């Protein structure tokens, strides 16, 4: 019991801090070490560790990462970002566009991946426009978390909730999408107030147009598969199955080397969750609450 509590506490403390002091161990490494210690101290058997892994969540994450990788490589996110900049008549409009785009995409394509994809684009946009990047980067971080609340595919936590509870996708979205919408509106208001000096500018932003490289065949294929995937989500099909089938369909291509897709997948995040499933299972078995 004591071993389970100490291992769980140490693992989550490292997750909160980001690393173990004086060691090059990140969050993923902490989850691996924690899971291994649960086995080393006989809190769990190897068979119990295997059984603790929620494969629905892992498969769903994997499928969604393949879909997002294809959208990014096709130029979709860069195109949307360019459209937002072209239609931003002032800093507040630009902020609102970033919040809405990041929030909506995070609801369907996992907030972690949206942060990774959109952060460099937002940095590039703010440099082009000569704006301070901090409020817009905060917008990405905050809106990705808030927007991900809306659906089961928004973040891994929601995926776990959906997997264990069997709540239908549309029921989950109907209950939490309004909450996410209010949160996104409040995000715009809070950032605009805290950084009010940034948003006092009334003159239109001077946008320097730069062409966006787009792989049109891949773009249309990725959009079609993504749209079909979301339709099947709301139709009540098993979410992990739909996501991994969508990812598999996008791997059937002559235009993109599979190595490019695999490089876009955040393998460390998948390993992180495998480790956490085992650590949590050890805590559940170890002490008697």
Residues 208-217 have pLDDT tens digits of 666 778 889 9
Position with higher pLDDT, 207 vs 14: 14
- pLDDT tens-place string over residues 131-163: 889 999 999 999 999 999 999 999 988 988 988
* 231/227 Cα distance (integer angstroms): 6
Secondary structure class of 88 (helix, strand, coil): coil
* 98/184 Cα distance (integer angstroms): 10
Backbone φ and ψ for 121, nearest 5 degrees, come out as -65, -40
DSSP-derived letter for residue 262 is: H
- Asked whether the predicted pLDDT for residue 289 surpasses 50, the reply is no
- Residue 85, pLDDT score: 79
First to last CA, the chain: 10
* 202/208 Cα distance (integer angstroms): 18
Token pair belonging to 47: 């068979």
- Residue 33, pLDDT score: 93
pLDDT category of residue 205 using cuts at 50, 70 and 90: low
Token pair belonging to 273: 């969750």
* 120/132 Cα distance (integer angstroms): 14
Secondary structure class of 287 (helix, strand, coil): coil
DSSP per residue over 153-220, as a string? TSSHHHHHHHHHH---HHHHHHHHHHHHHHHHHHHHHHHHHHTTTTT---SPP----------HHHHH
Position with higher pLDDT, 22 vs 104: 104
Average the pLDDT over 256-265 and give the result.
88
Percent of the chain whose predicted confidence (pLDDT) is above 90: 55
- Residue 46, pLDDT score: 93
- Does pTM surpass 0.85? yes
- Residue 177, pLDDT score: 96
* 151/112 Cα distance (integer angstroms): 14
- Asked whether the predicted pLDDT for residue 288 surpasses 60, the reply is no
Nearest 5°: CA angle at 172, between 168 and 173? 115
- Lowest mean pLDDT across 196-205, 227-236, 274-283: 196-205
Question: Who contacts 217 (Cβ-Cβ below 8 Å, separation ≥6)?
Answer: 255
Torsion angle of the four alpha carbons 12, 17, 18, 19, in this order, in degrees rounded to the nearest 10: -90
């Amino acid at each position: 019991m004591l071993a389970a509590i100490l291992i769980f506490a140490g693992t989550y403390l490292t997750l909160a801090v980001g690393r173990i002091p004086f060691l090059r161990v990140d969050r993923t490494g902490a989850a691996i070490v924690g899971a291994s210690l649960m086995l080393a101290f006989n809190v769990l058997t190897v068979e119990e560790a295997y059984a603790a892994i929620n494969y629905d969540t892992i498969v769903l994450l994997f499928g969604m990462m393949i879909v997002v990788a294809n959208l990014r490589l096709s130029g979709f996110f860069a195109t949307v970002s360019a459209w937002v900049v072209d239609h931003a008549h002032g800093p507040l409009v630009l902020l609102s566009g970033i919040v809405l785009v990041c929030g909506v995409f995070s609801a369907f394509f996992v907030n972690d991946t949206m942060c990774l994809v959109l952060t460099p684009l937002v940095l590039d946009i703010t440099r082009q426009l000569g704006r301070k990047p901090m409020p817009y980067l905060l917008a990405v971080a905050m809106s990705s978390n808030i927007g991900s609340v809306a659906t089961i595919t928004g973040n891994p936590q929601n995926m776990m909730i959906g997997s264990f509870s069997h709540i239908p996708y549309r029921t989950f979205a109907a209950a939490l999408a309004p909450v996410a919408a209010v949160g996104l509106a409040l995000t715009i208001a809070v950032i605009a107030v805290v950084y009010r000096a940034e948003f006092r500018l009334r003159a239109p932003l001077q946008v320097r147009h730069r062409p966006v490289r787009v792989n049109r065949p891949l773009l249309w294929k990725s959009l079609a598969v993504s749209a079909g995937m979301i339709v099947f989500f709301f139709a009540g099909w098993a979410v992990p199955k739909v996501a991994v089938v969508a990812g598999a369909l996008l791997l059937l291509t002559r235009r993109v080397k599979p190595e490019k897709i695999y490089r876009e997948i955040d393998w460390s995040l998948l390993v992180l969750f495998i480790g956490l499933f085992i650590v949590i299972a050890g805590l559940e078995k170890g002490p008697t609450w």
